[in-house]
């Protein structure tokens, strides 16, 4: 079994990252990456010996201070000052799994040889990754334009013995950690601070983390909705392939196909129906869930391009003998994609809540609020309230961050993406969807019991059997918060074949 992932120019994709994370692979630079890093650093080092004209961020100030030249003897101090002065993060701590992805993606970007950093700087970042030394990073502070400056500054502080890290389940001073490890602080050379801080690894790490989770939630939304379809005694005709052949959006076609597979041998699905049509929240599942699937594909394509790119500034092109200051750090592609992802995932929750509402409404032979003796028992009345509250919050969070821009750095940075805010609020939406789907699973599994002795499909009956080991049938009122939390944990632990996730 592999224990190491070699950083190279090979394409990094979701499947590869998932394998690195889940198998806890160590990172190591390939010979190709080492060569790229050394060549770029040597070129820059030699160039600066003879370079008298200003080169942004290498021998000048930053942002609106770009025209202030800095003397050669102060170039190292310039880079260290940059890291310290830009570490202005506030808010909550970034989740540790996302910090680790930030390290991975920063290492990958620096390995291409367009950034001019020292080999030992990249190797120290790899040491952090491999030893689970995770810099303390905060959620607020990035405009998502000159890169994720504040978060990446906090990610970089431990390299120079500043800031704090999470290590062995404790938050400790980086200076103390370096002493314990016997490591000397890195002395940053020309451009290194800028290479570390310019970049989109905060937004990218959030995006990658959420995409892996969203693909799973998209699949679970189909499975749980299929259970709701049988629980509400719905028609199967809206899932007929003929319907979708004449409107062949990829996600829509895939969703209908999946529902036919999930409900293939369902006794409930094959039974004669009294109702001619079903509410949209059931009948239009392929169209709504499918649109989210198509969005996931678009967002994945955007992030796949980004994490295999160079996003710091300026960029070093050895073969062309050029150092070019551009704008690859601008997060606009990611900001738009993250907003799109938030909207698409919020819609999975929106339609799920409508199915929950229908299930508790006492329709189609179901008892009011899915409980015996309603009146004495409130049953599943309030979980729908809870879901409605979460769905409403998601609608607020789905308002796009990318439509905003606030001028910074004395007008030099006069358009920003706000992609970092798009990222952090999108994660709240995604986490909320997990709770909404867990509540739908509670409702659908409860409703199915009132259809007995008829059964749903073999696949879904197996799911129900496993779920009942965690959450039992509700025969009379009890503290349903416990069941909701148990249902969320059930979904989090639910294992899905990767071929189903990314197909």
Q: Report the greatest alpha carbon distance in the chain.
A: 87
CA distances to 60, 135, 163, 313 from 318, rounded to whole Å, are: 21, 32, 34, 15
Active site residue 114: no
Cβ contacts of 167 within 8 Å, gap of 6 or more: 131, 132, 133, 134, 177
Q: What contacts 24+ positions apart, CB below 8 Å, involve 403-409?
A: 406/143, 408/63, 408/143, 408/145, 409/63, 409/64, 409/146
- Give the angle 416-420-421 at the CA atoms, nearest 5°: 95
pLDDT at residue 503 in the model: 59
Say if CB 275 and CB 229 are below 8 A apart.
no
CA 166 to chain centre: 21
User: What CA–CA distance (Å, rounded) separates 291 from 478?
Assistant: 37
pLDDT at residue 411 in the model: 81
Q: Please, what's the b/e burial string for 418-430 (b: 16 or more CB within 10 A of its CB; e: otherwise)?
A: bbbbbbbbbbebb
Q: What DSSP element (H or E) covers 318? A: none
- Nearest alpha-carbon partner for 158 in 84, 98, 96, 81: 84
Cβ contacts of 259 within 8 Å, gap of 6 or more: 222, 225, 226, 229, 239, 285, 286
> Can you give the length of the chain in residues?
503
Tokens of 233: 């005694």
Say if CB 480 and CB 356 are below 8 A apart.
no
Tokens of 187: 């002395």
Q: Which residue has the tokens 């570390």?
A: 196
Domain residue ranges of the chain, discontinuous segments joined by +: 4-199, 206-311+327-368+380-437
Tokens of 374: 């309603």
Q: What DSSP element (H or E) covers 2? A: none
CA 398 to chain centre: 15
CATH number of 206-311+327-368+380-437: 1.20.200.10
Q: Give per-10-residue mean pLDDT for the chain (503 aa).
A: 90 95 96 97 86 70 64 78 95 98 98 96 98 98 93 98 96 97 94 93 98 97 98 97 98 98 96 91 98 98 97 93 92 97 98 98 94 93 97 98 91 90 98 98 98 97 97 96 98 86 64
Among residues 56, 114, 340, 467, which one is catalytic? 56
Q: Where are the beta strands (DSSP E) in 151-226?
A: 164-167, 170-173
User: What CA–CA distance (Å, rounded) separates 429 from 206?
Assistant: 13
- Nearest alpha-carbon partner for 325 in 119, 50, 60, 52: 60
CA distances to 46, 59, 114, 317, 457 from 321, rounded to whole Å, are: 12, 18, 12, 6, 65
Would you state the torsion angle of the CA atoms of residues 256, 260, 263, 264, taken in this order, to the nearest 10 degrees?
A: 180
Asked if the domains 4-199 and 206-311+327-368+380-437 are classified in one and the same CATH topology, the answer is no
Tokens of 295: 């969005």
Q: Does domain 4-199 have CATH number 1.10.275.10?
A: yes
Handedness of CA 418, 58, 120, 308 (dihedral sign): positive
What SS3 class is residue 245? helix
């Amino acid at each position: 079994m592999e224990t190491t992932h070699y950083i190279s120019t090979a394409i990094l994709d979701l499947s590869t990252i998932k394998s690195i994370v889940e198998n806890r692979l160590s990172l190591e630079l390939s010979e190709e990456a080492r060569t790229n890093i050394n060549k770029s650093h040597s070129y820059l080092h030699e160039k600066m010996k003879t370079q008298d004209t200003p080169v942004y961020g290498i021998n000048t100030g930053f942002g609106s201070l770009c025209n202030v030249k800095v003397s050669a003897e102060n170039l190292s101090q310039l880079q260290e000052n940059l890291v310290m002065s830009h570490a202005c993060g506030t808010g909550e701590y970034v989740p540790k799994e996302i910090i680790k992805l930030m390290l991975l993606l920063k290492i990958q970007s620096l390995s291409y040889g367009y950034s001019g950093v020292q080999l030992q700087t990249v190797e120290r970042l790899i040491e952090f990754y491999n030893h689970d030394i995770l810099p303390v990073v905060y959620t607020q502070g990035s405009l998502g334009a000159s890169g994720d400056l504040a978060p990446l500054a906090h990610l970089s502080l431990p390299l120079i013995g500043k800031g704090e890290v999470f290590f062995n389940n404790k938050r400790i001073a980086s200076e103390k950690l370096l002493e314990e490890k016997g490591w000397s602080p890195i002395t940053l050379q020309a451009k290194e601070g800028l290479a570390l801080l310019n970049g989109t690894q905060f937004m990218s790490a959030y995006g990658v983390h959420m995409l892996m989770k969203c693909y799973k939630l998209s699949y679970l939304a189909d499975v749980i909705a299929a259970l709701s379809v049988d629980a509400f005694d719905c028609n199967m005709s809206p899932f007929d392939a003929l319907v979708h052949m004449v409107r062949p959006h990829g996600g829509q076609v895939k969703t209908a196909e999946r529902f036919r597979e999930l409900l293939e041998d369902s006794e409930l699905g094959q039974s004669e129906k009294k109702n001619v049509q079903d509410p949209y929240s059931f009948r239009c599942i392929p169209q709504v869930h499918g649109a989210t699937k198509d969005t996931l594909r678009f967002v994945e394509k955007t992030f796949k391009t980004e994490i295999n790119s160079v996003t710091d500034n300026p960029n070093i092109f050895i073969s062309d003998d050029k150092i070019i200051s551009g704008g690859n750090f601008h997060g606009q592609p990611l900001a738009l994609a993250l907003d799109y992802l938030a909207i698409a995932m919020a819609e999975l929750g929106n339609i799920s809540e409508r199915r929950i509402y229908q299930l508790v409404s006492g329709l189609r032979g179901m008892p009011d609020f899915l409980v015996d003796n309603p009146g004495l028992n409130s049953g599943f009345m309030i979980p729908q309230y809870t879901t409605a509250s979460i769905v409403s919050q998601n609608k607020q969070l789905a308002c796009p961050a990318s439509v905003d821009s606030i001028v910074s750095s004395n007008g030099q940075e006069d358009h920003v993406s706000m992609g970092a805010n798009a990222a952090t609020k999108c994660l709240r939406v995604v986490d909320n969807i997990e709770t909404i789907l867990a509540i739908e699973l509670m409702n659908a599994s409860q409703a199915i019991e009132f259809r007995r002795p008829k059964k749903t499909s073999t696949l879904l009956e197996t799911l129900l059997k496993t779920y009942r080991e965690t959450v039992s049938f509700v025969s009379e009122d009890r503290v349903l918060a416990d069941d909701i939390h148990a249902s969320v944990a059930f979904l989090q632990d639910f294992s899905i074949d990767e071929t189903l996730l990314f197909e």
